[in-house]
Structure 1
Amino acid sequence: MAETGSAVKRAGRKASTRQQDPEGTKQNIIEVASQEFALNGLSGARIDEIAAKTRSSKRMIYYYFGDKEGLYLSALESAYATVREGEAELDIAGLSPVDGLKRLVEFTFEHHHQHEDFIRMVMIENIHHGQYLERSSVVRDLNVTAIAKIRDLYERGLKVGLFRDGLDPLEIHWQISALCFFNVSNRATFSQLFARDFGAADMQARLKQNTVDMVLRFVAKAEAIKA
């Protein structure tokens, strides 16, 4: 009887939380689901397991997100929103073009290092050939602002003669993403293959500086880097 009473109380607390803070409940579900999808993929994640780790229930998950694919897409959108929100907070408009580019690269490297679940979810979505992102106008709109930020930075650098002509802001974004993404996606395999801890603090500091240097050499003129 005591166990039954405790279960009833827990269910009551969950119901009360849902009623008082539906947005908080949805965010809690997305956070837990993101970890499950990152660990097990779309096919391996289980709604029962997600519900058990949240303040909600299986029924409420279906109510908010429709089905597992809807929850997966919401988790993807949330992951992309997190990185774009961080970029939006960067005051690179107040920096010189070279310093602004450095800061953007540093931020991307640090963000990906600190958000491994984001990298895993992007890898999973690539396994699905981007078919779920194709459904999302939210992510497309978020990425438009990301490219616009790089375009503004690049055009400022061109105007003052610091950056090379003929570069595509989208391709600059690609190069930054590629270097920072690989740092997380292939860290474990590189560490095993070459018997070196690529996740160690000193190695991460070197890799981040290397990434900054490579992007600067790609975008900026030699005299701008020396300056």
Structure 2
Amino acid sequence: MDSSAEKGQGPASKKRKSQWKQDPDAVKADILRVATEEFATNGLSGARIDEIARRTRASKRMIYYYFGDKEGLYCSVLESVYGTLRGNEARLMVDDLEPVDALRKLVELTFDAHAKAPDFVRLVMIENIHHADYLKQSRTVPALNKAIIDKLEDVCAKGKALGLFYEEADPLELHWFISSFSFYNVSNRATFSTSFGKKLFSAKGQAQLKRRAVDLILGLVVKSYVREAQN
């Protein structure tokens, strides 16, 4: 056998090293993309670094170089999925909107963002099994989470100043309620649809659930809220 192959210096290995040096950010992004799918599907204990390496342009050595170990990669995946979700929220420009419209948009965006990110939901479920032990290690996620609370604080303050919101409207409670509707819609889809059918998970059903979520949230904090008539 060729000695270079024995030492992992074959054509495939040389190609990976070249890509590693030429575009390390792309390699890291590729690792995170595949690792997100692997951890979301199999959990922390069931995920395999060998499988992640097989599906990417990286070797196991490169993965460990960038992320330290399996748990380090898992923590980076958590930060990545939280960053994507919170980034979408941060990009929603609601500062110039009337408070009721701003809150409506925040509810709609959160509902849609969760529906489009089942891996995020699965990873949060997995992290809850671990009692948030790995999330506690992150310095990034708390800052990301604070951004949405700050946005809701601003909306609530404007709503109260204009006499539109109840004084007891609380940004943290609002975030809890909004996230609850949005999260459950994805986390329990398999069991709910198996038990009660798929009506609520059709395009029409999802649109209706989103409208209901808006009605419930606005009805909770907006004085004299009257829900819009829907077909």
What is the TM-score when the length of structure 1 is the normalising length?
0.93
| Code of the aligned partner of 1:220 | V
Q: Matches of 1:24 and 1:223 in 2, distance apart? A: 48
Give the superposition deviation at 1:144.
1.2
Alignment of 1:30-41 (within 5 A): 30-41=32-43
Give the superposition deviation at 1:68.
0.5
Contact map agreement 1:98 1:224 (CA 8 A) in 2: no
What is the TM-score when the length of structure 2 is the normalising length?
0.92
Q: Matches of 1:190 and 1:222 in 2, distance apart? A: 33
2:115 to 113, 122, 125: 113
Counterpart residue number, 2:69: 67
Percent of residue pairs identical: 52
SS at 1:207 equivalent: helix
| Code of the aligned partner of 1:119 | V
SS at 2:89 equivalent: helix
1:131-176 Cα offsets, whole Å, 9 max, x none, are: 1111111001111111101100110111101111123211111110
Give the superposition deviation at 1:224.
7.2
Backbone CA RMSD of aligned residues: 1.6
| Code of the aligned partner of 2:202 | A
Q: Matches of 2:82 and 2:29 in 1, distance apart? A: 14
| Unaligned runs of at least 5 residues, structure 2 | none
Contact map agreement 1:30 1:75 (CA 8 A) in 2: yes
Give the superposition deviation at 1:27.
1.2
Counterpart residue number, 1:213: 215
| Unaligned runs of at least 5 residues, structure 1 | none
Q: Matches of 2:103 and 2:165 in 1, distance apart? A: 11
Give the superposition deviation at 1:107.
0.5
Aligned length: 222
Counterpart residue number, 2:99: 97
Give the superposition deviation at 1:13.
2.4
Contact map agreement 1:150 1:169 (CA 8 A) in 2: yes
Which structure shows the higher helix fraction? 1
1:88 to 90, 110, 119: 90
SS at 1:129 equivalent: coil
